């Protein structure tokens, strides 16, 4: 993929040596995030795609899917993490 094909947010990330991530935690809706430059300019936006039941029953062990968008509202690659489950003896 050439740099011309990359979404704007990913192009901007390539030029930054530091970013900041702010999380808006909600108990009954999906968590939202904004990735900014150190000066506070938005680069990417993200939202968690999980259900309330998953949050209540599995907590931080739940499977995690985060949809990421640039400032032009174009979707960039999704971030995911598998369900983490273990039994304690």
What's the predicted TM-score (pTM) here?
A: 0.70
Rounded Cα gap, residues 8 and 42, in angstroms: 11
pLDDT at 57: 67
- Return d(Cα 56, Cα 44) in angstroms, integer: 28
Question: For the chain (length 89 residues), average pLDDT per consecutive 10?
Answer: 72 87 79 91 87 70 82 83 57
């Amino acid at each position: 993929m050439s740099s011309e094909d990359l979404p704007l947010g990913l192009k901007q990330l390539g030029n930054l040596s530091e970013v900041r991530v702010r999380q808006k935690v909600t108990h009954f809706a999906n968590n939202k995030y904004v990735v900014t430059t150190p000066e506070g300019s938005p680069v990417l936006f993200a939202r968690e795609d999980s259900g309330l039941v998953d949050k209540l029953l599995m907590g931080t062990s739940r499977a995690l899917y985060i949809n990421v968008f640039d400032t032009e509202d174009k979707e960039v690659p999704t971030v995911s993490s598998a369900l983490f489950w273990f039994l304690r003896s």
